[in-house]
Amino acid sequence: MIDDYLKVNSLEDLTPAIELYNTLIGLGRYDDAGKFFHERLDYATLYRLSANRQRVELLELLFPDGLDQLPRLSSQGYQRFILHALAQGYGLSEQPGRAATLYCRSNTIASEMKDNRNLSVGLYNLSDALRLSGALCESESAASRALVITRKQDDRFHEADCLYSLGLMLAARGLANESRSVLQRALCMFRAQSNSQLEGVGNSYLAQRALWYGEFAGALSFANRAWKLAHVRSLERDFICAARAQGEAALGLNDFATADERLHHALTRARMVNLAEEELPALVALAELRRRQGDAKAARELLDDVWEAAERGPYPLIHADACSVLAQIEWDEGNQAKAVEAATKAYQLAWCDGPPFAYHWGLEKARKHLRELGADEPLMPPFDETKFEPMPEVEIDPEDEFHAGDGKSFEL
């Protein structure tokens, strides 16, 4: 068996470990199996290979009484870990909504145990799952709660991770200065820790933010840096995120050949590991590429691969982007009624909790389509703050050695 997960290159390398794990399960030795997964299979399946489908299959074996019950482990700490690990598997394989539920259960145990370190990790992972599934207010609240905890513990590593989650959330809401400062603060913190792998993740996040703002040259620079840093530890998800961002940036710069190659590269790798949160935006970007190339049929076929998974996830932000591309395809072909229908659905999906907790970029695209089509915006319920707990108060960019300010002086 391979001890160092960074030396694992394929699932075949994990065969002996998986066989032993299954043997322990078959013998009813669930405590031993849970510990073995933690020590030998966790990092390899999650980080090195992004083998999310296989991860879920293995972890579900620890729930012989059903997934609505706790895993059959005697240690409360290991019960928390397995719930969290399974949530990660679901969150990265088409089911962020289901992941959020499991994160909440894991976080409840961490809170009961007064395990603030793992509670903060669970909260910022919960934030990511909630953002993907459109619960934007709760997503920001979870990331802010995690940030409060890490600051009290003076935990710079996990503070930076919290800031990544919060920064991407703020960027999705369209908060320019705040999202830039938060993401760049986190990046500076990981640089200070000489953590090149997570520096690369930060560059991918900054690339995504730049893509939303239409800053395509900047997005490409960030994405290229992320691609270079992905080679430091060769984690599969890092390569996929960077390649997809490179492709979208190239598309924004009208470099169709590069966009085609990079987006297909990302799509192929994402499909191999069932990484839906990257597969779906790659499909949407490729559909837009084909539309611009005048191949509406190919564009529609690419979008056909999005609808079911986007609905099932759910992935309303990505779903909204796909509907906006469809609206433009319909409008290009003179199908005004269908264009209005698609733009209206994009608007409804992007609404999320309602402004200010809406997917800003999806909402703006939908508004533009509806305005150009001479159609009214649909009536939607306003944000109701009484449905949510008060947002935790936390200073996102304190004036210390990592203070990013407006971020204008930031250099790659």
> How is residue 175 written in tokens?
């908060």
Task: Give the helix ranges, DSSP H, for 193-306.
Answer: 196-212, 216-230, 236-252, 256-273, 276-292, 296-304
C-alpha triplet 144, 146, 150: angle, nearest 5°: 115
pLDDT greater than 90 at residue 6? no
Are residues 12 and 38 both part of a single domain?
yes
Q: Is 15 a member of any domain?
A: yes
Average pLDDT of the segment spanning 214-225: 98
Spatial contact of 59 and 82, defined as CB atoms under 8 Å apart: yes
Q: What is the model's pLDDT at position 118?
A: 95
Residue 410 scores a pLDDT above 60:
no
Q: Of 129, 160, 194, which residue is a domain's last?
A: 194
Q: Are residues 77 and 135 in the same domain?
A: no
**How many domains in the chain?**
3
In-domain check, residue 94: yes
Q: Which two tokens stand for residue 391?
A: 């947002």
| Residue 26 burial by Cβ neighbours in a 10 Å radius (0-12, 13-18, 19+) | exposed
Are 375 and 340 members of one domain?
yes
CB 124 within 8 A of CB 375: no
Q: Please, which residues bridge with residue 357 across strands?
A: 354
CB 52, CB 274: distance < 8 Å: yes
Q: Does residue 160 fall inside a structural domain?
A: yes
**pTM, full prediction:** 0.92
Question: Which CATH number fits the domain that encloses residue 139?
Answer: 1.25.40
- 76 and 63 in one domain? yes
Residue 406: pLDDT band with limits 50, 70, 90: low
Assess whether 315 and 367 both reside in one domain. yes
CA atoms lying within 13 Å on the CB side of residue 196: 10
343 inside domain: yes
Structural domain containing residue 315: 306-380
**CA gap 123, 149 in Å, rounded:** 10
CB 123 within 8 A of CB 107: yes
| 307-334 per-position pLDDT tens digit | 999 999 999 999 999 999 999 999 999 9
Q: What is the CA radius of gyration of the chain?
A: 21
Query: Is the pLDDT reported for residue 1 higher than 70?
Result: no
